[in-house]
């Protein structure tokens, strides 16, 4: 399909949503996906007046569509590449729940239609971790940070009210997909001022009182909503 555009049609429930968002219809190549994304991203980017939520949805569709193309090209090879990622995500999920926290997984419906429930879950993505209290500590941060490469879809990490320190915070630096990070009421200190530079997609940052001075607050990116204080009540 090189040099030709894939046909565009209204959303079809029999095709992955990611392709519908991009305006594509199977069969598609990775180049089709890239070109469709670039064409829509120019208009959807917030810097050009686009809606931030719609742009995030477009980015997600782009990543999912690339996975779909790889899956169609070689199902067994693709599946094997996901097993280790899934295993590491499950380690983090199990530890979070064991410590009294909650997780959210995002399911890949299109894969379940192809492989069924037995194998379809290997493409599920861990997107949110919520863990409050003393067990949200530096040891937990090490566990999460060590598996950062398998947690690229994690967009929300809520450790408010935990016992995390700057040492533990440093372990989280590899979670490049974070959009929300809540550390209010923790023992994080001055290192908190460096966090916005670690995560280019960060939209919300919660830090303890005193972690960020006035001048540091003024230097924060305009896109970022910063809240200082104790952990919010349940």
Report the percent of the chain where pLDDT is more than 70: 85
Q: With 0.75 as the threshold, say if the pTM is over it.
A: no
Phi, psi of 13 (to 5 degrees): -60, -15
CATH homologous superfamily, domain 17-73: DnaJ domain (1.10.287.110)
Residues 83/90, Cβ–Cβ less than 8 Å:
no
How much is the pLDDT for 233?
Answer: 74
In the structure, what pLDDT confidence band is assigned to residue 12 with cuts at 50, 70 and 90?
very low
- Examine the pLDDT at 46 and tell me if it is beyond 60: yes
- What span, in angstroms and rounded, lies between the C-alpha atoms of 49 and 167? 39
Domain boundaries, the chain: 17-73, 83-228
| pLDDT at residue number 6 | 40
Count CA atoms within 13 Å of residue 89 on its CB side: 24
Phi-psi region of 209 (alpha: psi -120 to 50; beta: other; left: phi over 0): beta
Q: Which CATH architecture has domain 83-228?
A: Alpha-Beta Horseshoe (3.80)
Picking from 39, 63, 208, the residue whose alpha carbon sits closest to that of residue 125 is 63
Q: What is the pLDDT of residues 67-107, one digit of tens each?
A: 888 777 776 666 677 778 888 999 999 999 999 999 999 87
More confidently predicted of 112 and 162: 162
How far does CA 39 lie from the centroid of its chain?
23
The pLDDT of residue 85 is: 86
Give pLDDT, residue 112.
58
The per-residue pLDDT for 113 is 60
* Distance separating alpha carbons of residues 179 and 156, to the nearest angstrom: 6
pLDDT value for 115: 55
Which stretch of 155-159, 192-196, 203-207, 228-232 has the lowest confidence by average pLDDT?
Answer: 228-232
Mean pLDDT of the chain: 83
Residue 31 makes CB contacts below 8 A (sequence gap 6+) with 1, 2
pLDDT in tens, 114-154: 555 555 577 788 999 999 999 999 999 999 999 999 999 99
Whether the predicted pLDDT of 11 surpasses 50: no
């Amino acid at each position: 399909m090189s040099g030709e555009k894939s046909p565009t049609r209204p959303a079809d429930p029999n095709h992955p949503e990611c392709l519908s968002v991009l305006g594509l219809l199977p069969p598609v190549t990775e180049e089709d996906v890239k070109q469709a994304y670039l064409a829509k991203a120019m208009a959807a980017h917030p810097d050009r007046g686009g809606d931030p939520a719609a742009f995030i949805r477009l980015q997600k569709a782009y990543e999912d569509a690339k996975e779909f193309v790889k899956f169609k090209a070689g199902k067994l090879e693709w599946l094997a590449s996901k097993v280790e990622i899934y295993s590491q995500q499950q380690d983090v999920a199990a530890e979070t729940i064991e410590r009294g926290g909650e997780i959210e997984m995002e399911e890949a419906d299109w894969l379940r239609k192809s492989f069924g429930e037995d194998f379809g879950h290997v493409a599920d993505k861990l997107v949110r971790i919520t863990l409050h209290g003393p067990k949200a500590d530096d040891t937990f941060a090490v566990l999460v940070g060590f598996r950062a490469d398998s947690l690229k879809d994690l967009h929300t990490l809520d450790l408010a009210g935990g016992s995390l320190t700057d040492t533990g915070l440093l372990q989280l630096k590899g979670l490049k997909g974070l959009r929300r990070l809540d550390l209010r009421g923790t023992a994080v200190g001055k290192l908190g001022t460096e966090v916005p530079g670690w995560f280019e997609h960060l939209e919300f940052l919660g830090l303890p009182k005193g972690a960020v001075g006035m001048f540091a607050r003024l230097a924060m990116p305009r896109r970022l909503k910063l809240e200082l204080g104790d952990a919010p009540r349940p």
